[in-house]
């Protein structure tokens, strides 16, 4: 991989010249001062830095492009990624460089990847001070800052106030997230949503790591008290990935992105990016405490203009309110961000149709089927025009961040499950007793009880029956959980209505999986739900 070159001790990147003042590796307190002085953020009564992202309060996947050059043209999964020509990329880079001339920038030299064999140095260059604090919190902070020049593997340049011109730049809108994987440069503009910084770096790692024989994963991870009982939690936004892996009894490895090498798993990041909408201390005490500390960035959380009290219940700006904080704010956590090979893997799905069992065990073939499917559901009201639950299939539980074909990640996951004997469970954190609007959300306390039962081996000998549609193995009972809840059909008032909805979801699974025909083994293709049961 080509590396971004630093010309001298004062250099940021060869393309960026005649900058204003360059603020390098500032501390959180210093970044607070700059952000508040520049009018980028406000201070809450809890000491958090509260920031707004403007009109874009989430990721802009349609504005993300990967540079198609002689190397990436044959390796990138173009079925899931948009291409941009190298010439257009460099033209935008030159315009960004011209825009930054005379402007102050903030620079953080950080690390992605806790395993020293696979880590990369990432330089984050931002025009906003609060974005630099976000990067400081989310990536791994070196123990000592080097005074000598370093050569970053990745350089991220984030300029929200620079807007693309689609006519001349070849973008879809004024916003752009451009990844030049061969040269190690990422350009972000036209959007202030800080999550683009972390997810663009994750996309890059999803390109580099599998080609080194390391499975990159969109999952959280924790370990048991003895340190040898690792669990992974795969899931899309809103399924409980961060909440369920944040457990006072199990130290957290990381809450979102990991690699799985021959030595074990390792966190790619050094912080957490947790949703905070309607968060409660009694149900999520660790995240709640972290979201109220000095050093934490709160994104699009409503702040009272007079008292400066935050309102975690308000969705006046967006449902996607976030807290970005260092993993040291999570107690307990695993120092060093590495753990042994996992024994247990959970696939989390928020089934808004209310038909999937709340807990079920998967065979190896089913595990790869549901991994490639990446199912969850959006609920009414979360998007404009969405009036009923909508199935969402995001392959490998992270399609927007996959740079290589999905079969690459599935093959590596299957090989590791076989080699290390990991058990895989499907967990529905969504609805029961009916679909969204009729049924009820499964209480997180029950979901935690089911996960603890799995991790403590309490479901190993419990009798299980095969679900007639989804064919997963459903336990007959679970400590701390009402037995009727384990059978989703029994929670519906009309069993016939459940059957119709289950068949409808099974059909959606089958239609979605057609895209993988011929790319996976037949045993995997036929491991999913069945129709007519």
- Would you please indicate which residues are annotated as catalytic (active-site) residues? 59, 199, 218, 237, 241-242, 256, 322
Alpha-helical (H) ranges within 234-355 are 241-245, 285-290
Angstrom distance (rounded) from CA 409 to CA 372: 9
Sign, CA torsion 249/253/255/259: negative
Q: How far apart are the two ends of the chain, measured CA to CA in Å?
A: 51
Angstrom distance (rounded) from CA 531 to CA 502: 9
Angstrom distance (rounded) from CA 474 to CA 453: 14
Beta bridge partners of 260: 215, 265
CB distance 154 to 121 below 8 Å: yes
Angstrom distance (rounded) from CA 532 to CA 234: 29
Question: How far is the CA of 445 from the CAs of 429, 442, 449, 456, in angstroms?
Answer: 11, 8, 6, 16
Angstrom distance (rounded) from CA 178 to CA 200: 8
CA angle 329, 443, 464 (to 5 degrees): 110
SS3 49: strand
User: Look-up: residue for tokens 């799985």?
Assistant: 260
CB distance 296 to 49 below 8 Å: yes
**Exposed/middle/buried for 144, CB within 10 Å: 0-12, 13-18, 19+?**
exposed
CB distance 253 to 230 below 8 Å: yes
SS3 84: strand
CB distance 16 to 97 below 8 Å: yes
For the record, the structure tokens of 224 come out as: 């048991």
Query: Nearest Cα to 23, choosing from 107, 145, 141?
Result: 107
In this structure, what DSSP letter does residue 528 have?
S
In this structure, what DSSP letter does residue 13 have?
B
């Amino acid at each position: 991989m080509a590396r971004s070159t630093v010309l001298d001790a004062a250099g940021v990147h060869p393309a960026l010249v005649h900058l204003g003042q360059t603020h390098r590796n500032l501390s959180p307190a210093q970044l607070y001062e700059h952000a508040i002085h520049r009018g980028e953020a406000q201070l809450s009564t809890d000491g958090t830095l509260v920031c707004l992202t403007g009109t874009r309060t989430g990721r802009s996947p349609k504005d993300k492009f990967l540079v198609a050059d002689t190397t990436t043209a044959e390796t990138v999964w173009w079925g899931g990624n948009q291409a941009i020509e190298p010439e257009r990329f460099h033209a935008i880079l030159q315009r960004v460089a011209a825009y930054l001339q005379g402007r102050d920038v903030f620079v953080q030299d950080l690390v992605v990847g806790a395993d020293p064999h696979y880590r990369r140095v990432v330089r984050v260059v931002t025009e906003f001070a609060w974005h630099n604090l976000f990067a400081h919190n989310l990536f791994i902070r070196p123990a000592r800052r080097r005074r000598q020049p370093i050569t970053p593997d990745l350089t991220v340049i984030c300029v929200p106030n620079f807007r693309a011109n689609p006519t001349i730049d070849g973008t879809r809108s004024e916003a752009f997230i451009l990844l030049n994987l061969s040269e190690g440069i990422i350009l972000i503009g036209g959007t202030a949503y800080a999550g683009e910084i972390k997810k663009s770096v994750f996309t890059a790692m999803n390109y580099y790591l599998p080609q080194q024989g390391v499975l990159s994963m969109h999952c959280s991870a924790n370990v048991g008290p003895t340190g040898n009982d690792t669990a992974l939690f795969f899931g899309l936004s809103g399924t409980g990935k961060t909440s369920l892996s944040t457990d006072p009894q199990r130290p957290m490895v990381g809450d979102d992105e990991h690699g799985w090498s021959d030595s074990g798993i390792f966190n790619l990041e050094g912080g957490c990016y947790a949703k905070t909408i309607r968060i409660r201390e009694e149900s999520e005490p660790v995240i709640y405490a972290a979201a109220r500390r000095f050093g934490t960035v709160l994104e699009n959380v409503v702040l009272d203009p007079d008292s400066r009290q935050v309102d975690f219940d308000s969705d006046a700006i967006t449902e996607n309110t976030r807290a970005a904080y260092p993993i040291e704010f999570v107690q307990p956590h695993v120092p060093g961000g590495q753990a042994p090979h996992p024994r247990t893997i959970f696939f989390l799905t928020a089934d808004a149709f209310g038909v999937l069992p709340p807990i079920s065990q998967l065979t190896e073939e089913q595990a790869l089927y549901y991994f490639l499917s990446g199912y969850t559901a959006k609920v009414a009201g979360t998007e404009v025009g969405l009036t009923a639950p909508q199935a969402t299939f995001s392959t490998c539980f992270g399609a927007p961040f996959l740079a290589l074909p999905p079969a690459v990640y599935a093959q590596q996951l299957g090989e590791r499950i076989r080699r290390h004997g990991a058990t895989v469970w499907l967990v529905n954190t969504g609805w029961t007793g009916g679909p969204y609007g009729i049924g009820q959300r499964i209480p997180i306390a029950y979901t935690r009880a089911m996960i603890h039962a799995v991790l403590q081996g309490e479901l190993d000998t419990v009798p299980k029956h095969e679900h007639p549609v989804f064919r997963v193995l459903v336990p007959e009972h679970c400590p701390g959980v009402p037995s009727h809840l384990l059978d989703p059909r029994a929670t519906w008032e009309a069993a016939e209505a459940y059957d119709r909805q289950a068949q409808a979801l099974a059909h959606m699974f089958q239609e979605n999986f057609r895209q993988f025909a011929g790319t996976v083994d037949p045993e995997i293709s036929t491991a999913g739900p069945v129709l007519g049961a």
